[in-house]
Amino acid sequence: MTPLPLNSTIGILGGGQLGRMLALAAARLGFRTHIYCPDPQSPAFEVTPHKTVAAYDDEAALAAFAAQVDVVTYEFENVPARTAEILAGLKPLRPGARALAISQDRLIEKGFIRNLGISVAPYQEATSAAEVAAEIEATGGLILKTTRLGYDGKGQRRLIDPSEAEAAFNELQPHPLVMEAWLGFEREISVVLARGLDGESAAFDPAENVHHDGILATSTVPAGISAETSAQAVEFAKRIADALNYVGVLGVELFVFKDGSLIVNEIAPRVHNSGHWTEAVCITDQFEQHIRAIAGWPLGDPRRLADVVMENLIGDDIAAIPGRLRPGIRPHAYGKAESRPGRKMGHLNRVSVQNREK
């Protein structure tokens, strides 16, 4: 396992803000990056001169891209399976294609996690509106989700009346869908963990997350959980990463109940929105940690040096950055050309300055 030498080129699938931040971190470590994305307006293109604008199913473009890079990673989990298969046959793909395949299908993902002895919400496949209506009647309510392509609150409905079943089933695509029990959890947390080529792992402190309209609004660290619950959440994340033989940064979202018990909600095989706070208060942030891992370098120190709240800037919120700047606030704008409702445009990290010496 020879580490990538300086000036090697890292190929990144996806040109959004996560790809942009990965490219910036790679440059800081002495690597070049090459972004592959179909969208010519991708914000990641602004931070590296090496780019390919082509469809993910363009096999000739993928081969040309692979010939120009030393390792390939991705910034989002909906990379087509065929794309991953092609690239994995040409250059090292980190994280591997198995992590993508599992995270892309909620039914497969939940079964994988459950088979590791980790609790998930009770669930079952839904192949008809009648099945959904019957389950609502029996349970008093549920969450109906797509198996694929759901994120930021998209692709899911909370249903409490059987009369809602038919419209929701028809609107959510593709079928089959997932019926998931609605559970009265106390809070949501996430663990961002890195695993290196040598199997060593390093986890950041769990963050407590608040969502508005299905979109992450804030991540607060430290989370309002016990040390025992924190350790259990990290152990779950490590167990998942080890089972996948994972290389890179992994996000694991969990629900916490009043007694401190946990269930895993979902996993994300990439750097994670709820880990953006690491930019401001960690010796090694999640983006540098991911680059180190996929390059075969030693993982960095994930220790947190201060308390912090990460706040997403959604839509026109981005225009308020100049007026929001105060001591202890670190802004990050993603460079997106167009502001739209529900679109993540940047974030602020609000650091508890008084804790810097801890």
For residue 153, the model assigns a pLDDT of: 58
CB-based contact 282:271 (threshold 8 Å): no
Domain segments of the chain as ranges = 9-93, 122-181, 187-355
Domain 9-93 classified CATH 3.40.50.80?
A: no
Task: State the residue for tokens 């961002």.
Answer: 192
For residue 358, the model assigns a pLDDT of: 40
Task: State the residue for tokens 């959890």.
Answer: 185
Q: Which of 41, 23, 27 is nearest to 335 (CA)?
A: 41
| Integer CA distances (angstroms), 343 to 16, 53, 74, 293, 338, in order | 11, 22, 20, 29, 9
Say if 9-93 and 187-355 have the same CATH topology.
no
Where are the strands (E) in the chain, listed by range? 9-13, 32-36, 50-52, 71-74, 123-126, 142-146, 156-159, 177-181, 187-195, 201-203, 207-212, 215-221, 248-256, 262-268, 308-314, 329-333, 344-351
For residue 183, the model assigns a pLDDT of: 86
Pairwise CA distance, residues 153 & 312, whole Å: 15
CATH topology of domain 122-181: Dna Ligase; domain 1 (3.30.1490)
Pairwise CA distance, residues 84 & 71, whole Å: 12
Pairwise CA distance, residues 338 & 26, whole Å: 26
For residue 155, the model assigns a pLDDT of: 81
For residue 72, the model assigns a pLDDT of: 98
In this structure, what token pair is assigned to residue 62? 């993928």
Task: State the residue for tokens 């363009």.
Answer: 58
- For 347, phi then psi, to 5°, come to -155, 160
For residue 121, the model assigns a pLDDT of: 92
Task: State the residue for tokens 């409905």.
Answer: 157
Give the pLDDT means over successive 10-residue stretches in the chain (358 positions). Answer: 94 98 98 97 96 97 98 93 95 96 93 96 93 92 85 78 93 91 92 98 98 93 98 98 98 96 96 98 98 98 97 95 93 93 95 63
CATH topology of domain 187-355: D-amino Acid Aminotransferase; Chain A, domain 1 (3.30.470)
In this structure, what token pair is assigned to residue 230? 């924190």
